[in-house]
Amino acid sequence: MAVREVLVYPDPILKQKCAPVEPLSHETEQLVQDLIDTMYAAGHSVGIAAPQIGAPWRVAVVDVSGSKLGQKHNHGLMVMLNPEIIESSGCKTMREGCMSVPDFTGNVDRAKEIVVQFYDRAGHDRVIRCKGFEAVAIQHELDHLDGVLFLDRISNPGTELFKRKH
């Protein structure tokens, strides 16, 4: 379909709570393909959510399989429509970055393991257990669907937020 422009903070769309999407609609399929194309075209991205390309819908895609951090535990390309974390456990601090916050990274506390429920691209209801980097990436993308950026989760910006070296 198309590689779309990624919105950058402080664009107000990034702070909106997104609405549920209709699985199997033509518009949803087009949005999913645009998200996949945009994520892979970035070359370094392991996930992207619909509001990052200006669509206020509950859709995210994640694929950590190409990252050295995600090679051990991953489900490949995950297309998540109306996703919800239904279980979480443990705590892990990781350095996160975001295409919508290109100049900074930060240390964020996330659950080590999650169970996420969503509709897949074919409209099937899925429940998947994820851990490690994949779990962190999913939590990051699902935050976007609620208007939350990783910046909002940094406990002490003075010591936990870092200027990205370009």
Strands 161-163 and 92-98: unpaired
Contact 126, 120 (CB under 8 A): yes
**7 φ, ψ (degrees, to nearest 5):** -70, 145
Residue 141 falls in the annotated catalytic set: yes
Cβ atoms < 10 Å from Cβ of 23: 19
Q: In what helix (H) or strand (E) does residue 92 lie, and over which residues does it extend?
A: strand 92-98
Catalytic residue chosen out of the listed positions 5, 96, 141, 160: 141
Which residues are designated catalytic?
141
